[in-house]
Amino acid sequence: MRSNKGIMLGATLALLMAGGAAQAAGPYAGFSLGYQDIDVDIGYGPFSTEGVSGSGTSFRAVIGYDSFNVAAPFLIGIEANIAQGGAKSSASIGSLKSTISAEESYGIAARFGGYVSEEVAAYGLLGYQRTSFEQRLGVFSDDANFDGLRLGAGVDFRVAPQLDLRAQYARTWYNSRTFDGVKYDPEESTFEVGVIYRF
C-alpha cells in the first residue's frame, strides 16, 4: 500500500513538473531597460588609473528558446541579444582627458535553471558578448569592439499564460586593447527589468 502511494505521489509530482515545463518551453522574445555601469582600467605610458567608473541606461532585445526535454524538470536554453549602452567613463591621464563610452552590443548565452514555484523560474547565464566602445583621448577618438565573458542570474515571473516579467543581473569581463598608446581594460555590470513573450 505504501509502495503504491509512493508511486502515485511520484507520478503526480512528475506530471506537475512536466506541466510547468511544457507551459514555458519553446521560443520567446522580449526587451528590457536597465542600469549599466562600466569600470575601466586605463593606462598611458607611465600613467595609469584603475577603477574609473561611469553609468547610464541601457536597452536590450532578446530572442531565445527554452527546453526541458534534455534535463527535465530543469531549464536549459539559449538566448541571443542585441543592446545599446549609455554608460560613459572619464579620467585624466597626464595632461589629457580620456573617455570611454559603451555603444552597441550583441551576444549569445546559455541559460540554465528551474522552477522554484509554478509562477517563478530562476536561472543562471553564461555567454559571450561583443560591445563597441568609443575611446576618446583629447581631441582624438576611435571605435573598437571588445569581446568578453558574460555571467549572470535572473528570475522570470509568470504574469499571464504567455507573458513573463524578468529581472536580471549580469557582469561582463572584456579583453583589454590598446589605442594610440592608451590601454583600456573594461568591465561591465547591468541590472535590467523587462518583458518576455512566449510563443
Contact 38, 77 (CB under 8 A): no
- Burial of residue 110 (CB within 10 Å: 0-12, 13-18, 19+) is middle
When the candidates are 3.30.110.40, 1.10.275.10, 2.40.160.20, 1.10.10.10, the CATH number that belongs to 2-198 is 2.40.160.20
Q: What is the DSSP letter of 176?
A: P
pLDDT of the residue at 71: 59
**What is the distance, to the nearest Å, from the Cα of residue 157 to the centroid of all Cα atoms in its chain?**
17
- How much is the pLDDT for 148? 96
- Could you state, in order of their start, the residue ranges of all structural domains in the chain? 2-198
Helix (H) or strand (E) holding 11: helix 2-24
Full pLDDT tens readout for the chain, 199 residues: 444 544 544 444 344 344 444 456 789 999 999 999 998 887 777 666 776 788 899 999 999 998 866 556 688 999 999 999 888 877 666 666 777 788 999 999 999 998 888 889 999 999 999 999 887 766 677 788 999 999 999 999 999 989 999 999 999 999 988 876 778 888 999 999 999 999 9
Q: Any idea what DSSP says for residue 71?
A: T
Distance of alpha carbon 79 from the chain centroid: 10
